[in-house]
Structure 1
């Protein structure tokens, strides 16, 4: 809520509410980054100059994004004019663009503007953005096509795989957590490759890869790997949907290594990395880097770039040359905009935990970088869920992708975790006492994550445990990056068995032997609950989650019930009662006519 000071009403001698409005305007999605500016600098400037509040929403149809402007009528108009001024300075080409050098004589024409070395006509509030982007895409493709030809198909089907009948393939998929494979945006599924049941089936042409897998000690491919490898090695775009801890990283990594080595331009002649892996958090990016470093193939090098650490060291490493860049969206765009990160040679892009990145508001950064990378690239997207936002992103930047999902597209918690819901008062001390009772009963084999809703709560819980001489560590957004890395190292190594965390640790992180997850604060949405629960019960092991549920969490009850029931977990009667009461309250509110804003209970200005 944007609270503003009351304004004096001279006639009545008292204060009255000024007239504020909300409007929405559409801007081209590909120009969202320009409106926001680096680190939000441009949007802050717009708000300062206009006096209005400007919010770039997540509502987009791919081509257009909605911007919400709030404030006084005259302030809204100023903000709208400033945004239009920015977006009308078009950074892409219009249909009638020509090289400047061919039309120098028209330099002073008021109807002509010059954009990135091209001349285009200026139209009054009448820009055909779809045509503009279509022309820009065409010219981008021409530019990239003139540079080099991308090789994407490295797959030769093993004779044992070729010999599999359709019935045997379906039986294998059914028995391996119900693997479902389809071309998600078309009905043509006949060309989808059969799964590889052994490592040799996928990499029989690459003995060095097989040797690396042998060193790590895996016995057989996971379900997502068995179906992903033939698809990715064939050069197809792919969407992999599976719960975390199912081997998605290795599913896209090994084909990436082969892709790097197989391009027509030698690696030492490329002026930038070949593979880009984008991850939502620093912790997940670092975890992917650790996974990459386990496999040594043809001297391929990697670099992890993320915020919170020395920027200059990352720039120096990029200049020396690397083959794989693992990056968080913010730092990646920062270095690319500053000219330190050459993305022209990237031909294999991975959007890891795409749903999480969109939840965190990184869509503008992702769209900006995807628009700038070679359009002939191979694109991989991984996600634990399949919401509309992820679907829109896939529609925009993938070519006839094959979707592989393991289990079900319906939101569900892993069945290897026992889920316990404890009803209690909404009081930090009550919850803390419950946590202390649990900690007292921990064994030497137990290792737990305690999830808190806010950073302050995580610090409070950590301090209270420390005051009682209970060793623990914590991780959240306000901690220095070195402290966050040390906390993860301590919990992974087993030096410390209690990690206090916010949702920064709820996705992607692979912590061995985690026995319990405790939701000190119930998460803000049911998707996050599922991801928190999924931190334990991984890689064939069992685990347990305990959630402290209070009366203030009652709006989650209805969505929580089917998650528990689907996994055959006990649902307390109070959860059913909360769900019924909350729905009844909502129905009652919706049936009542809108009340005025004045008087008690109205909005304060």
Structure 2
């Protein structure tokens, strides 16, 4: 670009104090000339203009260099970006408005950059003026400071006695934050108090339950998978924990419509979690339910919610929003809960499932028209609340389903944001498959003297209705694929399989290979459209396909009763996910089989896997024990070789 310039000319820095930029090479009236008579253009000029000959500002712009002046000015380099604009949009506007061609050269000394203007005198003057308006004179003077002139000291006049001196500023008043927080809490309580009171107690203990002795209650709990019930946070004023029920009639004998819906569903007797949870929830207590997947936790909190909705003082038509809110970690689990809710018709209660990837406009229409139960993922829920499409002020019954999974996925901020907007006197239910510290923290923050029910043990354990097989194979993709295809080709047509992969790309690859082999399959992972994910679940449920290839997005919440096998093609990164994957089979009292491919790269999980297998009385390959020992020895050596204290070499931080 600089080759097009007149090398004999001299560029002089413009002076912002003058009306226009100054140009000088000994003669202030001399302008830069285009000695080569070549056309100058800027990269930001439209491609079509450069192809057809730049016309600048229509008929007033410079045409091909017809002898017009070429003027050079210098501007501070830090203003060049402001002159060019994003994608060259600003410089194009300047050229159009002035009629001059503006060419930013690469000639710079670091502080200043040369800009070349081409056009007639009026166009160049206009361009100079526009460029000057884009630059700030006082900032430019940082590069060209003018000599300071000494000023004579000014004597201060004495203040007359009758004059009042300037008042001193008032001292800054300190803020009492504790008092402010206290006032804020009082204001919130006053606002919540304006709402109608919440009715929570709907339980009428059946005479048969009342007649149970403490010994009979204890024996029933032990026989039903060792149900353990206790107050999570022990307090002196806690009420006794309700006794468990043994039949549906004992729980809902005052609600014949509920009993009729249960009869239609074909259930024989309550599951262990249901037998203890229903009396607790109908009694208005907060509940933490910890049980393995597939044990009936959804129905445990759903049926009391239906009774709760119908029993409030304000009719459903008069409420300004839903009465029940269920939060779930994934779209699949939210849709599964929604499907379960809609199996039961109770006094016209309606529900909607809102989740990212679904039809947002349709979801907004349903919630604004009025709905009783909202099942939602945290992201879309916050979206609708912030947009003021969904009012949760009238929510009186909240469920945090699979709370441990929501925390693992990083949803704690969204959960807390939602819970802050719901009245604190609500009834709160939390379900979880495990009991980590994060779940305990949530319970302490948002629950009032909750009753904790856990079935089996708090130690992580896989369901005992699944036969767990571990196949130790070489850490070789080709070998693993061969083992899997041998299994797939010998599968009985009546059997269904969920294959878990660690990566989305792997899931797609396996799906392609199965399709090429003539085996019907579907895939489900985060990169698939929501409609495709829903169709995949429909296809595996109705038998259209025999294989569902999935990532951990499907490890929880999927309730497909007739899954016969789970294949861990890639062993999960933590043992919790292993337990949840295995739980996709052996559901609703049926048996299942899980097969896990275990390689040298998975040796960090060997110790925890041994504990799971031994607890379920499953066979543990000898190689798994050896891997656990080798990993422990390796980790011990690694820890011993680390420098003591600090980071990096020498125990200090490396910068």
- TM-score normalised by the chain length of structure 1: 0.77
- Residue 503 of structure 1 is aligned with which of 538, 544, 552? 552
Shift of residue 598 of structure 1?
Answer: 7.3
For residues 520-574 of structure 1, what are the alpha-carbon distances to aligned partners after superposition, in whole Å with 9 as ceiling and x for unaligned?
Answer: 0000100000111111111111111111111111111111111111111111111
CA contact (8 A) 2:327 2:401 kept: yes
2:395 is the alignment partner of 1:341: no
Q: Which has the higher contact order (CA 8 A, sep 6+)?
A: 1
Q: What is aligned with 2:583?
A: 534
Deviation of 1:122 (Å): 7.4
Shift in Å at residue 483 of structure 1? 0.2
What is the deviation of 1:468?
A: 1.6
For 1:145, which of 193, 201, 214 is the aligned residue? Answer: 193
Verify: 1:242 aligned to 2:291, yes or no.
Answer: yes
Equivalent residue in structure 1 for 2:270, among 215, 221, 228: 221
Per-residue deviation, residues 83-136 of structure 1 (Å, max 9, x unmatched): xxxxxxxxxxxxxxxxxxxxxxxxxx9999xxxxxxxx875xx955xx766654
* Structure 2: runs of 5 or more not aligned: 1-168
Task: Name the SS for the 1:518 alignment partner.
Answer: strand
For residue 448 of structure 1, report the CA deviation from its aligned partner: 0.6
Q: Is the 8 A contact 1:184 1:403 kept in 2?
A: yes
Alpha-carbon distance between aligned partners in 2 of 1:573 and 1:138, rounded to the nearest angstrom: 64
Aligned to 2:209, which of 158, 161, 164? 161
Instruction: Please state if 1:411 is matched with 2:465.
Output: no
Q: Which among 447, 450, 456 is matched to residue 398 of structure 1?
A: 447
2:434 aligns with one of 375, 385, 391: 385
Match for 1:263 among 293, 312, 321? Answer: 312
Q: 1:138, CA displacement in angstroms? A: 3.9
Alpha-carbon distance in structure 2 between the residues aligned to 1:465 and 1:385: 35
1:67-146 map, 5 Å:
123=175, 135-146=183-194
User: Do the aligned residues in 2 keep the contact of 1:140 with 1:375 (CA within 8 Å)?
Assistant: no
The verdict on how the C-alpha distance between 1:464 and 1:603 changes in structure 2, with shifts beyond 3 A counting, is farther
Residue 521 (structure 2) pairs with residue 472 (structure 1): yes
Q: Partners of 1:150 and 1:134 in 2: how far apart? A: 24
- Which of residues 529, 532, 552 is equivalent to 1:483? 532
The CA RMSD measured in Å over matched residues stands at: 2.2
Deviation at 1:415, TM superposition (A): 1.1
Pairing 1:11-26 to 2, within 5 Å after superposition: none
Q: Is the 8 A contact 1:141 1:375 kept in 2?
A: no
1:312-369 deviation digits (Å, cap 9, x = unpaired): 1111111100000000000001111111110100000000000110011100000111
What residue in structure 2 maps to residue 369 of structure 1? 418
Maintained 8 Å contact 1:173/1:179: yes
Deviation at 1:425, TM superposition (A): 2.1
Per the alignment, residue 490 of structure 2 pairs with 441
Task: Give the Cα–Cα distance (whole angstroms) in 2 for the partners of residues 517 and 442 of structure 1.
Answer: 12
Distance 1:279 1:306 in 2: 10
CA distance in 2, matches of 1:524, 1:466: 28
Alpha-carbon distance in 1 for matches of 2:463, 2:239: 31
What TM-score does the superposition give when structure 2 sets the normalisation length? 0.71
Preserved contact between residue 228 and residue 251 of structure 1 (Cα < 8 Å): yes
Given the alignment of the two structures, is residue 549 of structure 1 paired with residue 591 of structure 2, yes or no? no
Are residue 181 (structure 1) and residue 197 (structure 2) matched? no
Q: Assess if the C-alpha contact under 8 Å between 1:141 and 1:374 holds in 2.
A: no
In 2, the alpha carbon distance for the partners of 1:450 and 1:344 equals 42
The separation in 1 between residues aligned to 2:495 and 2:572, in whole angstroms, is 23
- Judge conservation of contact 1:449–1:516 (CA < 8 Å) in 2: yes
Deviations, residues 412-468 of structure 1 (Å, cap 9, x unaligned): 111111111111122322221111100111112211100000111111111111122
Return the index of the structure with the highest Cα Rg.
2
Determine helix, strand or coil for the equivalent of 1:461. helix
Contact 1:183 1:403 (C-alpha < 8 Å) held by counterparts: yes
